[in-house]
Structure formats: structure tokens, C-alpha cells
Structure 1
Amino acid sequence: MTASNAHPAAVHLGDGIYRIPCQFAADGIVHLYYIDAPEPVLIDTGVSATPERDLLPALSDIGLDLRAVRHIFTTHGHWDHMGGHGSMREIAPRALVYIQPADAYLLDRLEAHTFGYITYMPRALGDATELKAVMAQMASNIVCPVRADVLVLDGHRIDIGGGRTIRAVHTPGHSRGSMSYFLEDAKTLFTGDAIQGLGGGVGRLPLVFDDSRAYRATIARVAGISPDRLCLGHAFTGLPGGTEASPVREGAIARQFLEESGQAAKAIEETMRRVVASGDGGFVVVARTVLQRLVSDLGVTLDEEGLNRRAIATLHAFYRELTGSPPPV
């Protein structure tokens, strides 16, 4: 964005695919994708303000019309990917909304977010101030309820016209209902947040809210599909000294990013396993020890408390897998 152009520019990736970087919250960027086809496609919608503020003008600049969208594919039900679904209903009322059944409840009510994944960190740490702030942020960025038109399942193929087909690929872990979408003729897989390398910034970990075991299986499955192009929901970073932060990975870089994502998940699991085996002093104690060990292994940064708050949800998912503990309350 520039001062004279307050909305983002749509970037053509080839094959009629456009990437649109959209701001959310104070410093977040989510990457949404438009496929120019006889039945135009939108991959995710950002937050409530995104469609009108960002998508409509960005596409208009290149002669495309957001109102023509016929398919809205939801990679998962988290706020920065589905918060704009309700707004899109008004802009493109003929569009069908697709979501995997396990995440469909996140379209129904705000409380599914405020008492779910997005508040795992403050609940796990007992931080009432942060909990209140996150709840307020969700209320101002999500439009719900939103009707899901299609509960899309693994292997479902959708014809978007012109001989082009999109295949749904279930890729759980980040959320149970995470769904990737494979544009078959372009060998392009839109993954949302399903695979994250080391997450959305230097010194972090991938965000795995729901199922650490499924997350590792997802990485292996996508590697088996061998897409020519990965279109991610954020500019995820690879391992230290590895692939640079980018929302789009192609060819050998895509394969390397998948390998690095697998290596990162393995390092987290093995470290958590060793720490828990040496004595479980409770989650916060375990998390602090794991993070200290991952400073050298994965370049994790720590705060003055010896923690990394952006990593707490992920560590709790791996902790639950090994100990059978419930989600934070």
C-alpha cells in the first residue's frame, strides 16, 4: 500500500490466480486468492472490513469484479480467514460458501472463537487482561452467523468452468477442519494456515491449535501431492538459514518449505517428549523448559518471563498429545 493507494494491489501469479495481501489487526497480513474463471473463486475473506475495503478496489483496479464471485472456499474457520464471509454475502449474494464440517461451527457464533482457539494462550497462562482484549478484537472483526452452503469433504471436486476443477484436500492440525484446495490444471495448492514452517515471524513456532499429530500427517500428505505451487495464508518463514518468509512457494522452494515444516514439527515433538519424560511439573513449567531448548534448535525468541506467548497454543497442543490433558479452560 502507498499513501495514494490505501488498498492493496492484486498480484498475478499466473494461471489466472491473483494474490491480495490484506491487513488485519495492528500488524497482521493475510493473503487471499482470487481465481479468474467462468465461475470466479475467492479463497478466504479476511476480517469483516476486508472485502469492501481491500478486495473490491484491488480487483477493480485490474478489471475484475468481486461481485462476480461464485465460490468462496474457506481454508479454515479462524477469524482472519472467515471474518469477512458475512460482508461477502452482501457483495456477492450468489456465491456459495464452502467449509469442512469440523470447522463449520465457527461460522455460527462469536463465542466459538472467544471461548475457543484464539484464547488458548491467555487461558493457558491465566492472563485475564489479554483474554478481555482478544474477546473485544474478535467482536469487532467477525460477522456471524454465516450460512455454510456446502460442507466440503476430502476429495470433493468442484467445477469452476472452462475445464478447470478444484479438489478439496483435508489438511487438519492447525484446526480440525482445515481444508486445502488444489487447482488441478495449475498444480497449485491453497493451504491457508495448514502448513507453516516456523510460523508468521522470526523467533516463533508454527501455530497448531487443535491436533499436533494431524499437523505432522498433513505435511507428509501435501508432500505426497507434490504441488508445483503452494499458496499460503501468511508469509510463513522456514528454518533459520532456510527458505525466506513468503506467502507463495514454487518448485524446489515449495518442496524445501515442506521439508523444513516437517523438521520444525519433529523438533518440537521430540523436545516436548524429552521434557515431559523428565518430569511433568505442569504446563507452564514444561513450556518454559521446551522453549529454552528450542532457542538453539529453532531460533525461538523468549520474553522476560522465559516464554514466547505466540508459541503457547502450539506447545499446549503437543503437550496434550503426550499427556492426555484437556484444552485450557
Structure 2
Amino acid sequence: MEILQGIHRLQTPLGTRSLYQHLLIGERCVLIDTGVTKTPEEVLIPYLRQVGLGPDRIDLALISHADADHCGGNENLRQVAPRALIACHELDVAWVEDPDRLVEERYNQFSEQHGMGLRPEERAGARAMMGGKVGVDLHLRGGEKIRMGEGWRVEVLHVPGHTHGHLTVYDPRSEAAIICDAALGSVIPDARGDPSMPPTYCYPETYLPSIRRIAALKPKRLLTSHYPAMSGREVRDFLRESADFVRRVERTILGALRRTKRRMTLREIIDAVSGLLGKWPEEAAPNLAFPLSGHLSLLSKTERIKKGRRKGLVCWEIS
């Protein structure tokens, strides 16, 4: 549905969670994220027909970042809308172009060093969310402006943290920020609003400044990929909640290491802190590997904790 002038919001089923794509329609037509494998065919094209447009109207698919639920529909888009160019940040190109590499290097990254590899069914599930390899036509850096029509330009911002190349689109005309996963609150909800999984940012050293950058825009509307649209105070509260969670994670990690007074693996730290950080289902706790590994890396660099090995696995203790 059209939620703001020229900005349309589409919804794709994603298990128990909500997944949103955004479509900007003016003189140009820009899709933000292609969703999962069949999103273009099953969600985008029917919506375009509903508003009286054909797939040939799509000029650009801007991929916010390299994740299966954001770039998984690239191959299908190329099939149903072959004239559309695909763009993403240059730092995420390798993963956006190659689904197999994305699964191995992003989702299975904790296998060798931490003993937390994907089970065969998890690997197959992640891969099934994406089509085949598709090249990226435009490599972005952030700072680009897209002319949508007379008096309407939107800005592309580089907001790393969830991935190195995460992008946000800001529309000054409606004062709306389409941030996708650039900020993730303190818990990602399911479609009913119940806790589903923890935030999965990876690099706190860039994630927190990105949240501040979005807040500095003072957007009146905030559009994400997994939350209902927000406005006014909801925007400020959500961004504050996102930043506060980052600081709480660091404190909680340090507290767990101090209490145990021994070296802990990533799996052990997750078990120790998950219940302190949120009320998501127990089976979702391993997703904490993404933010926790980022914090542990940062804390090691600043020498607040020491990194070592135990039985072949990376572990940490208080310095």
C-alpha cells in the first residue's frame, strides 16, 4: 500500500516474521530489496498490476545489504523485470552476487573457530531463500542521489554495522528514512509482535555511529524491514532503544566474564547472557553470535578482555 506520497510498502511472508520491501514510484521506479526467492514474482508483480504498472517500469533495485531476505529475489527479479538494474554498496557486492558465498561466509562463519556451524537443514534453509548468482550492475558508496521526478530526490546513505555495506534511503520530501536493518531495536518481533530473535548487527563500532547518523536526520517516519512503520516519538524511542541495547550487550558480556573468572567460548557466553538480554525463544539464542562476536572482537582490540584458545575453540577472559 502507498503509505507516503510515492512510497509504497509491500509485505512478504517470512516464517513467523514480517518482511517488508519498499517501492518508490515517481518518474522513476525504485525497489528497495528484492526479498526472498520468489518475492518479485509473487509479491512485487501482482502489486504493480494492482496500481496499474508493469514490470518494465522498474528502473532500479537497490539492495540495502547482503542478507538472504533482502537480496534473495535478485535472480527472480532479473527474470520478471529484465531491464531493472541491481545496485548495492561496494562492500557487500561479493555476498549479494553469490548466494553460496553468503551462506558460507556470513551464516556459517562461526563454524571453524567457535564450533557453531550450521546444521545441514539450516544451511539448506538459508540457501533456499535465494535464487542463483546474479551480477550487481551498480556499486554504490553512499552519498548518491536518485532523481525520482520534478522536485523529488532521495538520498542514499552508507550506514554500516549490520553488514559493512548497509544502505539507507532518506526521502527529504516526506522526511522518511527507509533504514531496513540499519537499526534493530532490542528484539526483532514476529508478525504478532512477540519476541522472535535478537538483533543481529555484527560490528558495534560502526553500528552505533550509524544509529546516531539516522537519528541526526530527525526523520518523521521510519520504515524498517521487520517492524511496523513508525512515526514521531516512536522513531526517537526505537533509535534510542537500538543504541541502548548495544551498550547493554557490552556491559552484560563483561559482567559474565567477571562472574565466571575463567575463559569462555562464544557458545558459553551466549548461554550466560541470552536470558539477561531478551526473552526470545531459546532456539533463537544462537543468533546472538553475530552481535556478541563483534563486541568480543572490539573488547579484545581495546585490551579489556584477552583472547585465547581452549580445546581448539576461541575463548575470552577478563584482562
TM-score, L = length of structure 2: 0.85
Note if 1:17 corresponds to 2:17: no
- The CA deviation at 1:301 is 4.3
**SS, match of residue 186 in structure 1:** coil
* C-alpha spacing 1:131/1:162, structure 2 compared with 1 (3 Å): farther
CA distance in 2, matches of 1:107, 1:303: 30
Which of these residues, 192, 197, 201, is aligned with residue 208 of structure 1? 201
Aligned to 2:235: 254
Note if 1:313 corresponds to 2:294: no
* C-alpha spacing 1:168/1:270, structure 2 compared with 1 (3 Å): same
CA distance in 2, matches of 1:174, 1:123: 22
Alignment of 1:116-135 (within 5 A): 116-120=105-109, 126=115, 130-135=118-123
Aligned to 2:127: 139
- The CA deviation at 1:215 is 1.0
* C-alpha spacing 1:277/1:203, structure 2 compared with 1 (3 Å): farther
Which of these residues, 241, 246, 264, is aligned with residue 281 of structure 1? 264
Please identify which structure carries the higher strand content.
Answer: 2
Which of these residues, 276, 284, 307, is aligned with residue 293 of structure 1? 276
- The CA deviation at 1:29 is 2.6
Aligned to 1:264: 245
- The CA deviation at 1:317 is 2.1
Could you tell me whether the CA contact under 8 Å between 2:183 and 2:242 is conserved in 1?
A: yes
CA distance in 1, matches of 2:95, 2:79: 19
Note if 1:57 corresponds to 2:34: no
* C-alpha spacing 1:131/1:125, structure 2 compared with 1 (3 Å): farther
CA distance in 2, matches of 1:230, 1:66: 27
Letter in structure 2 aligned against 1:30 = L
* C-alpha spacing 1:81/1:197, structure 2 compared with 1 (3 Å): same
Which of these residues, 94, 98, 105, is aligned with residue 83 of structure 2? 94
CA distance in 2, matches of 1:205, 1:145: 29
Note if 1:160 corresponds to 2:137: no
Aligned to 2:317: none
Could you tell me whether the CA contact under 8 Å between 1:120 and 1:313 is conserved in 2?
A: no
**SS, match of residue 185 in structure 1:** coil
May I ask how many residue pairs the two structures share in their alignment?
A: 298
- The CA deviation at 1:134 is 2.4
Superposed CA deviations along residues 107-148 of structure 1, whole A, max 9, x for unmatched, are: 2322222212223466676356x4312221233222232221
Structure 1: runs of 5 or more not aligned? 1-10, 236-245
* C-alpha spacing 1:158/1:290, structure 2 compared with 1 (3 Å): same
Note if 1:183 corresponds to 2:160: no
Q: Cα RMSD between the aligned structures?
A: 2.4
Aligned to 1:243: none
**SS, match of residue 116 in structure 1:** helix
Superposed CA deviations along residues 2-39 of structure 1, whole A, max 9, x for unmatched, are: xxxxxxxxx22121111111013x33431001111111
Letter in structure 2 aligned against 1:271 = T
CA distance in 1, matches of 2:264, 2:225: 36
Alignment of 1:106-121 (within 5 A): 106-120=95-109
Letter in structure 2 aligned against 1:273 = L
CA distance in 2, matches of 1:55, 1:269: 40
CA distance in 1, matches of 2:145, 2:126: 32
* C-alpha spacing 1:116/1:229, structure 2 compared with 1 (3 Å): same
**SS, match of residue 234 in structure 1:** coil
**SS, match of residue 45 in structure 1:** coil
**SS, match of residue 135 in structure 2:** coil
* C-alpha spacing 1:140/1:292, structure 2 compared with 1 (3 Å): closer
Could you tell me whether the CA contact under 8 Å between 2:45 and 2:54 is conserved in 1?
A: yes
CA distance in 2, matches of 1:73, 1:13: 19
Structure 1 residues 152-161 or 34-43, which shifts more? 152-161
- The CA deviation at 1:182 is 1.0
CA distance in 2, matches of 1:230, 1:90: 31
